[in-house]
Structure 1
């Protein structure tokens, strides 16, 4: 695990931080792909974990959710717009083209089974000592997590910290072929930059200094 801030840990579940989960206090954020369960549970062994939350219900974030929730008896949380996908495991509805080869492969090989949602979240709710920030765009119900006391921001897939094909670190927009509304995604990045974060962490790629993220947001039109 990689420390992002006090009580905030990044858990990479694929090489080169290409897919990341997080432990914020006692809450697990995201669960990687279907085969990430063993690695996640090993990383969490001996940790006090009391809940699990999804930034969004894409296959590389909800893949091991059911396995981990069952193993640790965790309640699942997400935004209301992600509830159906989280509970059914059918995650293609949030892709701009659900019949595309990429979407169908994600569903077949990465998506996990559904799991009942115990609580839906909205802007301002508190999770693991962080505040929920609604950041729609990549999906309709995407959420990020913000802690004003030290400026730590868990952006999820509101933006990415690497090229998803080469895994070379760089700041970028979420992948267009997997993004519900790119204009909304740009607006959400600008919203997050307006918080003036000091440290920003992503679902894909290494964390970056907040000033770099703010500069990146300023380039978006």
Structure 2
């Protein structure tokens, strides 16, 4: 586990930065795929965990959520409009090719949602921002005093910084609006669901 900012740690992955999960104070943010369960629990065992937050209801972010919540007896929190997707393990996707791909995937185990997060809620010193588009209820976490942003998949930083693939987003135009909103915050540290951390606040504003 690597510290990136006060109270914010990146869980180590294989390969690094492909699918990220973070420990923010005593809250786990995202839980990778189903196969990430052992990797995540090895790093969390011996630590105090109070809750588990999922940025959005895609299977590469709540894949190990059920296992984590059961092992540590912690509640699962997610954006209100994505709650049903995790509780039933039926992610909402775009139409066409994306829907066909997801329908053939082995879904993570469902898990009850204890709290549906909305704009302005606080989680471990961060403020919840509603940033829909990649999924209907996608959230980001923003810490204003030092400019740390956990953006989920509103942006991705694999190979290059940009938007997630259109076919994987529920509504690409709404996600673009969420991208603009987050870029205007000019964060000093951006933490992605996929990709390396970014410490240049101007780069987000250049993404088209």
TM-score between both structures, scaled by the size of structure 2: 0.94
2:78 alignment partner, SS class: strand
Do the aligned residues in 1 keep the contact of 2:127 with 2:141 (CA within 8 Å)? Answer: yes
Residue number in structure 1 paired with 2:186 = 196
Cα 1:131–1:188, aligned 2, differ >3 Å: closer, same or farther?
same
How do residues 115-126 of structure 1 correspond to structure 2 at under 5 angstroms? 115-126=111-122
| 1:102 counterpart = 2:98 | no
Cα 1:148–1:90, aligned 2, differ >3 Å: closer, same or farther?
same
2:142 alignment partner, SS class: strand
Q: CA RMSD in A?
A: 1.5
Do the aligned residues in 2 keep the contact of 1:50 with 1:74 (CA within 8 Å)? Answer: yes
Q: Residues of 2 paired with 1:68 and 1:123: CA distance? A: 25
2:201 to 167, 191, 211: 211
Residue number in structure 2 paired with 1:70 = 70
Residue number in structure 1 paired with 2:30 = 30
- Count of equivalent residues: 208
Cα 1:47–1:216, aligned 2, differ >3 Å: closer, same or farther?
farther
TM-score between both structures, scaled by the size of structure 1: 0.89
2:61 alignment partner, SS class: helix
Cα 1:130–1:206, aligned 2, differ >3 Å: closer, same or farther?
same
1:77-122 superposed Cα distances (whole Å, 9 cap, x missing partner) = 011111111101122x3333377443234x32xx311111111110
| 1:143 counterpart = 2:118 | no
Q: Residues of 1 paired with 2:171 and 2:98: CA distance? A: 17
Q: Which runs of 5+ in 1 are unaligned?
A: 163-167
Of Structure 1 and Structure 2, the greater helix share is in: 1
Do the aligned residues in 2 keep the contact of 1:129 with 1:147 (CA within 8 Å)? Answer: yes
Instruction: Note the C-alpha offset of 1:212.
Output: 4.1
